[in-house]
Structure 1
Amino acid sequence: MWERLTATLTSLNALELTVLLGATLVAGLVRGFSGFGSAMILVPSYSLVFGPAVAIPIMSLVDVAGTLGLLPRAVRSCNWREVAPLTLGASLLLPLGVYLLIVVDQELLRWIISLTILLLVLVMASGWRYTVAPTAWFSVGVGGAAGLMGGSIGIAGPPVILFWLGGQAKAVTVRANIIVFLALVTIVAWISFFVGGLFTSQVLTMSVLLAPIYAVAIWAGARGFRFADERWFRRLAFGIVAVIALLSLLG
C-alpha cells in the first residue's frame, strides 16, 4: 500500500495535489455543516485530475467518513416513509448511470458534470421549491432521477434536496432524510462500481490518502453547524461550488 501511495503521489504535480487536497478540505466543511453538497465540489475537482470514471468512485469512498459520522443521529431523525420510495427509485436507475459513466467520452462527461452543477446552483440558490403534494410514484421518479445522476455524474443529492425542501418537514428532518438517502444510495453505487470494474488500485489508494483529511473537515463543519449563520454559509457554499464548476470547464 505504501509503495502504491508513493507512486501515486509522485505521479501528480503540485497543482494537481493542491486541487485534490483543497477540494477535499472545503467539501468536508460543507458536508459537515449542511449534510450534503460535497459531491458538487469533489466530482468536478477530482475529474480535473483523474477524469470522471476515476473521480466518482474516489468520491464515493472518501465520503464514507461523512456518512459514518452523521448517520447515527440521522437514522433516528429521518422519516423512513419519505426515504424509502426515493431510495427504491435510485436503486433501479443508478446502475444505468454507472454504465453511462463507463461508456461516455470522459471529456464530454466532464463538461456535462460542470454544466449540470452550474444549473443546479442557479436553481438551488434561486430558492425554487417543488410545492405540489407528491404521490408515491412521483417520489420513486425523483429517486430514479437522483440515481441516474449519481451513477453517471456522481451527484445524486440535488434532485431529492429540492424535492424535500419543498415540503413541510422541519429542517432537522430534511437534513436527516438527505443523509440517510445518500448513505443507502452509496451502497448501491459501490455494488455497481465493483461490477463495472471501477474500483481500481488507483481509486483505493487515493481514497486512503484523502479520507482522513475529509473526516477532519467534516468534524469542523459539523461543529460549525451549531454556531454559524446558516443563510450566510449556504451562500458561501453555492459560490464555492459555482467557482469550482467554472474552473472545471476551463481546465
Structure 2
Amino acid sequence: MRGYSGFGTAVILAPVYSLLWGPRAGVPVMLLMELVVSVQLLPSALKEADRRVVLPLGGAAAVATPLGAWILFTVDGEALRRFIGGFVLVFGLLLMSGWRYHGSRPLGLNIAIGTLAGLLKGSTGMSGPPVILYLLAGLEDAKRHRANLIMFFATIAIVSVIAPVLGGLVDMTALVRLAVMLPLMAVSVPMGARLFHVIPVRLYRPFAMGVLLAAGALALFG
C-alpha cells in the first residue's frame, strides 16, 4: 500500500502492532519502519511534490509531534489501542464514502492540519488520516497526490522517532522486531511502487479500504 499510494504504513501497522504488543511497544517499531520507507521513496517524489503546501504541513507536524509523544507515554495503553482502532475505522469509512475537504488551502489551515497530524503522529504513529483527507481533495492528478504524501511523511519521520528513543521505548525487543519486519517492508515497498504504474486505482481501492477496516476492527474489538 505505501509503495503504491504513498500512504498506508501507519494506518495498517499501528492498530495491528498495538493489538499484538501494546501501543508503547508497537508504535516505536512502526515509526522506525516508517522512517526507512520514507528514505526509500523520497528521492523520486521530490520533483513531483507541491512544496508550497507540503512544507508548512510537515513543519507544523514536526513541531507538534513531541507533544503527541507525551500522550503516548502518559495515556493508558488499552484506551490508546482502542482509540487507534476506532480512528482507523472512521478514517476507512470516510475514504470509502468519497468525502473530501473541498475548500482552499491557506497557510493557516495548512499549519492547523499539520499540527493535528503531528499530535496524532507522536501519540499513535498515524499522522496520515487528516493530511490524506485534506490533500486528496485537490485537483492534482494521482502522481502529484502520491508525491505530496510521500514528502509529508518524510519531513516528520526523523522527528517522530526521537521521543521514543530518548524515552527508552526503543529497546532490544523493539530492535529485534524491527529486524524481522523491516526486510519484508523493504521488499514490498518497491513492488508497490511498480504496481502503481500497472494496476488501475479502481481495482486497488476496494482492497486497500478492506485492509484498513479490518486492521481498525482488530485493534478496536480484539
Please give the range of the TM-score, normalised by the shorter of the 2 chains. over 0.9
The partner residue of 1:137 within 96, 104, 108 is 108
Aligned partner of 1:175 in structure 2 is 146
Separation in 2, partners of 1:169, 1:248: 33
Deviation per CA, 1:83-124: give whole Å up to 9, x if none.
111012112211111100111010110000000000111111
Number of aligned pairs?
222
* Matched-pair contact (CA < 8 Å) for 1:164–1:174: yes
Aligned partner of 1:94 in structure 2 is 65
Distance apart, 1:169 and its partner CA: 2.3
Q: Which AA in structure 1 matches 2:101?
A: Y
Q: Does 1:57 align with 2:36?
A: no
Q: How does 1:105-184 map to 2 (within 5 A)?
A: 105-184=76-155
Q: Which runs of 5 or more residues in structure 1 are unaligned?
A: 1-29
Aligned partner of 2:55 in structure 1 is 84
Q: Which runs of 5 or more residues in structure 2 are unaligned?
A: none
Aligned partner of 2:214 in structure 1 is 243
Q: Which AA in structure 1 matches 2:103?
A: V
Q: Which AA in structure 2 matches 1:169?
A: E
Secondary structure, in 3 states, of the residue corresponding to 1:63? Answer: helix
The partner residue of 2:17 within 26, 34, 46 is 46
Q: Which moved more, 1:113-122 or 1:30-39?
A: 30-39
Separation in 2, partners of 1:237, 1:109: 24
* Matched-pair contact (CA < 8 Å) for 1:63–1:214: no
Q: Which moved more, 1:97-106 or 1:198-207?
A: 198-207
Distance apart, 1:125 and its partner CA: 1.4
Aligned partner of 2:198 in structure 1 is 227
* Matched-pair contact (CA < 8 Å) for 2:15–2:85: yes
Aligned partner of 1:26 in structure 2 is none
Distance apart, 1:68 and its partner CA: 2.3
Larger Rg: 1
Distance apart, 1:64 and its partner CA: 3.4
Root-mean-square deviation over aligned CA pairs:
1.3
Q: Does 1:104 align with 2:75?
A: yes
Separation in 2, partners of 1:63, 1:120: 19
Secondary structure, in 3 states, of the residue corresponding to 2:197? Answer: coil
Q: Does 1:185 align with 2:149?
A: no
* Matched-pair contact (CA < 8 Å) for 1:74–1:180: yes
* Matched-pair contact (CA < 8 Å) for 2:101–2:134: yes
Q: Which AA in structure 1 matches 2:201?
A: E
Percent identical among aligned pairs is 39
